[in-house]
């Protein structure tokens, strides 16, 4: 229940809204002004006394009062302070992929020359998309579903699609964080992980060799076998150090100590995707602890997230600088840096692979099209400089990728020097680069416990900062849509966390590693890129870019110079990007992904049977189903409420620019506009009652 009271200050009355429940004995008002006497006359037609509103609730004045209520709700949405918005955006964007995915992509696509397509894609795709997400969220002060619903109700599903993409990522991303947590908890065993005398070694899958002692067998290898193939191949036809001495490893399936720790202890995989036998209790416990920590933080709201970002975002930059400095001072670091940066192949610029790789890395790294940046911007103050943040976000994300790549490859050069082999021989793809190769390199450094703790603490903070923002997207979408959940945030957070935890349980089984690969391969890529395309098309052709430009001028004012007119936030340069380049790039990435998909996954039909790809494409399709489902629901809702169906394809009254956009509408369209819902979903339970009921209590809403 809500109580609309009038207040008096310097001869004028101001509307005050209070929330009431029957469980407390206190009342708190949003506007703490002296309450006007109930016999006062209302001299201001735009201010609503309680008894007047109760009588005219469904009239024009009632609608204006409700819009004042909505404006107050938006004003009281928890706002970021200082640079908390930028840090929260970095918390979502800068993640684990910056550390192991970017350097790997650069190495495979021409080394330093990969920066050319990467930076081009950043300016023609990433910045325009981020720019649009920030404006949509900041102007509407709502989560993605509400933003698109206000533009056109039948398109609300686009916002839910973004929400579901984030949900898919959040489910499997927590598994990755739990693995990092296991390594962080084993800091005291940093050296022990690379040895072969542990309980998890030699469990039948492979024979363990100690990388730290591998150079002792290099002479034997050169004398008895001239084969110079890499020591980290599945089968090693050379002499290696295992069982306490150098022996011929021909025909054996060899694995380093760190590889066996990850394989036999952390993931303990079964024989294939459908082979379920046991639960990995270490992973399950780590996942439960991480979800508990996430829930505690999210219950405190966005203010807590903003303040926490000072620690979770800034500290990883400090750590990666320390790791980079340590890496480049190691013996052999120059060899690793040569393979990453100095050995450039500019012919790769003429290949589709390099450009698609740059585009996918941009999407993956900056979390574009997932609704997270839009949701973060909804907590900004109206005057906040989002345009600066769009550039800083790309700059800081790229900086983390460069620092991370330098630190990783310098360390790989050191490891190659210790083993007396070439750098390419120690490089592994994906998360194995961190969990296996980098862990082994750390074990051979001076002060290994320190570097182990710093490296995995950095990864843990990067992962948690991303996960927290992802889960917050889902919570915000639900609380904006359902008024009951808005008043009980703790219940929303608990419900979302338990749901995600339950859906992720399959990845804590011995078949979980294959399910992790499924989510990693199918959940984000296509959906996120198409989400960006839908966003640009909706704003460009359904809402109108001219209206969108006016929204930006309301937030930031008219451009004051010729340079600002051409390159400022509301310039026509961005218009061209949003209409043509950004959506075409998004659709192009999706097409290339589908066309280049190879079956079976990883070329292994035993571990990844056909059902793997069938379920994978179903996971990809789930977010898209939100679009037709919500469109059908909206049409049925309008028909049930006896509102003209054309209204479902019009801007709604709750949109901040409704009066401006509808000012020049033709008369027939204005007639339909007058019949549009006065309230939006989530506010249906809001009731305005007579302000004379002084005994009513208030429900405090965060």
Report d(CA 148, CA 142) in Å as an integer. 10
More confident residue, 178 or 560: 178
Report d(CA 16, CA 69) in Å as an integer. 9
Q: What is the pLDDT of residues 231-249, one digit of tens each?
A: 444 444 467 777 777 777 7
The pLDDT, as a whole number, for residue 101 is 84
Continuous segment of H or E residues that includes residue 256: strand 254-256
Q: pLDDT at residue 106 above 70?
A: yes
Continuous segment of H or E residues that includes residue 659: helix 658-662
Q: pLDDT at residue 57 above 60?
A: no
Mean pLDDT across the chain? 81
Q: What is the pLDDT of residues 286-340, one digit of tens each?
A: 999 999 999 999 988 777 888 888 998 999 999 999 999 999 999 999 999 998 8
pTM, entire model: 0.82
Report d(CA 375, CA 141) in Å as an integer. 8
The pLDDT, as a whole number, for residue 18 is 40
Of 13, 16, 15, 18, nearest to 2 by C-alpha is 18
Report d(CA 207, CA 223) in Å as an integer. 23
For the chain, the domains span 84-95+110-183+279-319+341-392+446-630, 641-674
Q: pLDDT at residue 228 above 60?
A: no
Burial of 666 (0-12, 13-18, 19+ CB in 10 A): exposed
The pLDDT, as a whole number, for residue 497 is 96
Confidence band, pLDDT 50/70/90 cuts, at residue 150: very high
Q: pLDDT at residue 423 above 90?
A: no
Is residue 623 helix, strand or coil? helix
Continuous segment of H or E residues that includes residue 695: none
Could you tell me the two tokens for 42?
């209302």
Q: pLDDT at residue 32 above 60?
A: no
Please state the residue numbers annotated as binding site for Na(+). 91, 93-94, 98, 365, 462
Please state the residue numbers annotated as binding site. 91, 93-94, 98, 365, 462
**% of residues, the chain, pLDDT over 70:** 82
Q: Which residues contact 654 (CB under 8 A, 6 or more apart)?
A: 67, 70, 150, 679, 680
Confidence band, pLDDT 50/70/90 cuts, at residue 82: confident
Q: Which residues partner with 208 through β-bridges?
A: 255
Confidence band, pLDDT 50/70/90 cuts, at residue 63: low
The pLDDT, as a whole number, for residue 693 is 36
Report d(CA 578, CA 538) in Å as an integer. 10
SS3 annotation, 447-485? CHHHHHHHHHHHHHHHHHHHHHHHHHHHHHHHHHHCHHH
């Amino acid at each position: 229940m809500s109580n609309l009271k009038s207040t008096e200050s310097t001869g004028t009355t101001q509307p005050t809204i209070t929330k009431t429940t029957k469980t407390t004995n206190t009342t708190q008002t949003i506007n703490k002004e002296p309450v006007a006497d109930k016999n006062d006359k209302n001299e201001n037609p735009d201010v609503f006394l309680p008894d007047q509103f109760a009588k005219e609730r469904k009239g024009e004045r009632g609608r204006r009062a409700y819009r004042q209520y909505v404006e107050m709700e938006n004003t009281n949405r928890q706002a970021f302070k200082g640079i908390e918005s930028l840090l929260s955006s970095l918390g979502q964007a800068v993640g684990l992929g910056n550390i192991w995915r970017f350097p790997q992509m650069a190495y495979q696509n021409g080394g330093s020359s990969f920066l050319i397509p990467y930076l081009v894609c950043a300016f023609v795709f990433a910045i325009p998309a981020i720019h649009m997400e920030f404006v949509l969220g900041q102007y509407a002060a709502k989560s993605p579903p509400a933003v698109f619903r206000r533009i056109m109700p039948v398109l609300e599903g686009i916002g839910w699609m973004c929400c579901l993409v984030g949900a898919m990522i959040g489910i499997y991303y927590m598994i990755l964080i739990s693995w990092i947590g296991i390594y962080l908890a084993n800091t005291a065993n940093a050296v022990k992980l690379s040895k072969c005398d542990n309980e998890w070694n030699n469990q039948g899958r492979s024979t363990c060799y100690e990388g730290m002692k591998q150079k002792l067998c290099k002479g034997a290898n050169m004398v008895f076998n001239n084969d110079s193939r890499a020591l980290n191949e599945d089968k090693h036809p050379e002499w290696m150090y295992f069982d306490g001495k150098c022996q011929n490893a021909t025909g054996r399936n060899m694995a380093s100590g760190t590889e066996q720790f990850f394989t036999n202890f952390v993931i303990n995989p079964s024989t294939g995707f459908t082979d379920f036998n046991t639960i990995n209790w270490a992973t399950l416990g780590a996942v439960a602890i991480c979800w508990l920590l996430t829930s505690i933080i999210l219950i405190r709201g966005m203010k807590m997230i903003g303040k926490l970002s000072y620690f979770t975002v800034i500290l990883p930059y400090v750590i990666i600088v320390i790791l980079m400095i340590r890496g480049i001072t190691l013996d052999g670091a120059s060899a690793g840096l040569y393979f990453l940066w100095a050995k450039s192949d500019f012919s790769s610029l003429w290949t589709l692979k390099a450009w698609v790789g740059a585009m996918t890395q941009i999407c993956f790294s900056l979390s574009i099209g997932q609704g997270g940046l839009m949701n973060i911007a909804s907590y900004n103050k109206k005057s906040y400089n989002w345009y600066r943040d769009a550039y800083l976000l790309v700059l800081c994300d790229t900086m983390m990728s460069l620092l991370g790549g330098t630190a990783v490859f310098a360390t790989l050069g050191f490891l190659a020097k210790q083993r007396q082999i070439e750098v390419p021989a120690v490089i592994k793809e994906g998360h194995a680069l961190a969990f296996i190769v980098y862990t082994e390199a750390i074990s051979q450094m001076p002060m290994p416990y320190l570097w182990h703790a710093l490296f995995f603490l950095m990864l843990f903070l990067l992962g948690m900062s991303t996960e927290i923002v992802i889960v917050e997207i889902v919570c915000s979408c639900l609380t904006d849509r359902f008024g009951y959940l808005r008043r009980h945030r703790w219940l929303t957070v608990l419900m979302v966390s338990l749901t995600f935890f339950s859906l992720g349980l399959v990845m804590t089984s011995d078949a979980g590693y294959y399910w992790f690969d499924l989510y990693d391969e199918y959940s984000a890529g296509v959906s996120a890129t198409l989400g960006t395309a839908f966003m640009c098309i909706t704003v460009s052709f359904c809402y109108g870019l001219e209206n969108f430009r006016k929204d930006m001028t309301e937030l930031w004012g008219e451009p004051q110079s010729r340079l600002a007119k051409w390159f400022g936030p509301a310039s026509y340069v961005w218009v061209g990007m949003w209409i043509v380049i950004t959506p075409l790039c998004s659709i192009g990435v999706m097409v290339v992904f589908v066309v280049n998909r190879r079956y079976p996954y990883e070329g292994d039909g035993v571990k990844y049977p056909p059902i793997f790809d069938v379920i994978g494409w179903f996971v990809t399709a789930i977010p898209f189903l939100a679009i037709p489902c919500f469109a059908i629901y909206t049409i049925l809702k309008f028909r049930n409420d006896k509102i003209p169906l054309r209204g479902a394809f019009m801007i709604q009254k709750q949109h901040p620019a409704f009066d401006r956009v509808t000012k020049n509408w033709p008369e027939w369209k204005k007639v339909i506009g007058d019949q549009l819902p006065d309230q939006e979903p989530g506010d249906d339970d809001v009731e305005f009652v007579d302000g004379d009921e002084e005994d009513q209590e208030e429900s405090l809403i965060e």
